[in-house]
């Protein structure tokens, strides 16, 4: 039976933080743990896409005694929407959202992915669809915009509660839980953090 403090050593990035953001993890970086169980995936840093909730969620899971290894991945091209996105209500300005082969491998190495994608409902849905089309993983979606399982199922995303028609399924992975109301750029409330922790614990228990 362990007694006293438990020390965790976390490698916060694979390269020095440079440019915009300074001290926070930069695009294309990952903090990895020895045994990959849960990965928290955040958007690329910038004026509108802030990675702060990702670090808060990662820290809270460790502080709450979650007995699993938790990694954090900041996507290299985490802004915008995927090039094949539909029904987004107008033209897309700026860069397209995408994944590298290395990022796909890093995500699929884990059992659960917590996906944080901001405050535009259609963008959140299409980013999650794109990731889960490439990655066979159980996902917990965290967003500021309110989204539900029906929103994802309409775009062919498999979910725990609503499934698209068999001929319209576009994903390998599955959305297992949704936590909305998490404001980007701010520390999540205790209530929202508790929702994320509860979802992770429930999924890990079901895998045992």
C-alpha separations of 181 from 1, 184, 190 in Å? 38, 9, 12
Per the structure block, which two tokens stand in for 117? Answer: 């994608």
The listed range with the strongest mean pLDDT (26-30, 97-101, 114-118, 160-164) is: 160-164
What's the predicted TM-score (pTM) here?
Answer: 0.79
Q: Are 52 and 24 in contact (CB under 8 A)?
A: yes
3-class secondary-structure state, position 185? coil
The predicted structure's pLDDT at residue 172: 96
Check pLDDT > 90 for residue 177. Answer: yes
Check pLDDT > 90 for residue 154. Answer: yes
- The helix or strand, by DSSP H or E, that contains position 104, with its residue range, turns out to be helix 101-108
Q: Are 30 and 70 in contact (CB under 8 A)?
A: no
The predicted structure's pLDDT at residue 123: 85
Check pLDDT > 90 for residue 186. Answer: no
The predicted structure's pLDDT at residue 35: 62
- Sorted by where each begins, the domain ranges of the chain are 29-207
Looking at 117-208, which runs of residues are DSSP E strands? 138-143, 158-159, 174-180
The predicted structure's pLDDT at residue 148: 95
Pick one of 3.40.720, 3.30.470, 3.90.1720, 3.40.50 as the CATH number of 29-207: 3.40.50
Confidence bin at 67 (pLDDT 50/70/90): low
- Of the listed ranges 2-6, 23-27, 153-157, 200-204, the one predicted with least confidence: 23-27
Per the structure block, which two tokens stand in for 41? Answer: 């995936």
Query: 190-207 and 52-63 helices cross at what angle (nearest 10)?
Result: 60
What confidence tens digit (pLDDT) does each residue in 116-143 have?
Answer: 887 788 888 999 999 999 999 999 999 9
What confidence tens digit (pLDDT) does each residue in 10-46 have?
Answer: 444 444 444 444 444 444 455 555 566 888 887 755 5
In whole angstroms, what is the distance from residue 83 CA to residue 87 CA?
A: 12
Q: Are 37 and 70 in contact (CB under 8 A)?
A: yes
Q: If we measure between CA atoms, which residue out of 42, 78, 65 comes closest to residue 197?
A: 65
Q: Are 110 and 70 in contact (CB under 8 A)?
A: no
The predicted structure's pLDDT at residue 96: 74
Q: If we measure between CA atoms, which residue out of 199, 88, 50, 62 comes closest to residue 139?
A: 199
Higher pLDDT: 9 or 204? It is: 204
């Amino acid at each position: 039976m362990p007694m006293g403090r438990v020390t965790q050593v976390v490698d916060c990035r694979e390269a020095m933080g440079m440019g915009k953001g300074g001290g926070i993890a930069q695009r294309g970086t990952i903090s990895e743990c020895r045994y990959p169980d849960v990965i928290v995936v955040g958007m690329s840093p910038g004026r509108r896409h802030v990675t702060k909730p990702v670090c808060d969620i990662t820290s809270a899971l460790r502080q709450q005694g979650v007995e699993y290894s938790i990694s954090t991945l900041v996507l290299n091209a985490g802004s915008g929407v995927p090039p094949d996105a539909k029904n987004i209500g107008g033209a897309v300005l700026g860069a397209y959202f995408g994944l590298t082969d290395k990022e796909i491998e890093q995500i699929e190495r884990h059992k659960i992915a917590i996906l944080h994608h901001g405050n535009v409902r259609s963008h959140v849905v299409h980013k999650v669809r794109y990731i889960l089309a490439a990655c066979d993983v159980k996902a917990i979606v965290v967003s500021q915009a309110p989204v539900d399982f029906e929103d994802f199922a309409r775009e062919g995303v498999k979910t725990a509660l609503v499934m698209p028609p068999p001929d319209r399924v576009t994903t390998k992975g599955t959305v297992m839980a949704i936590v909305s109301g998490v404001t980007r750029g701010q520390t999540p409330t205790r209530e929202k953090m508790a929702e994320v922790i509860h979802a992770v614990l429930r999924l890990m228990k079901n895998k045992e």
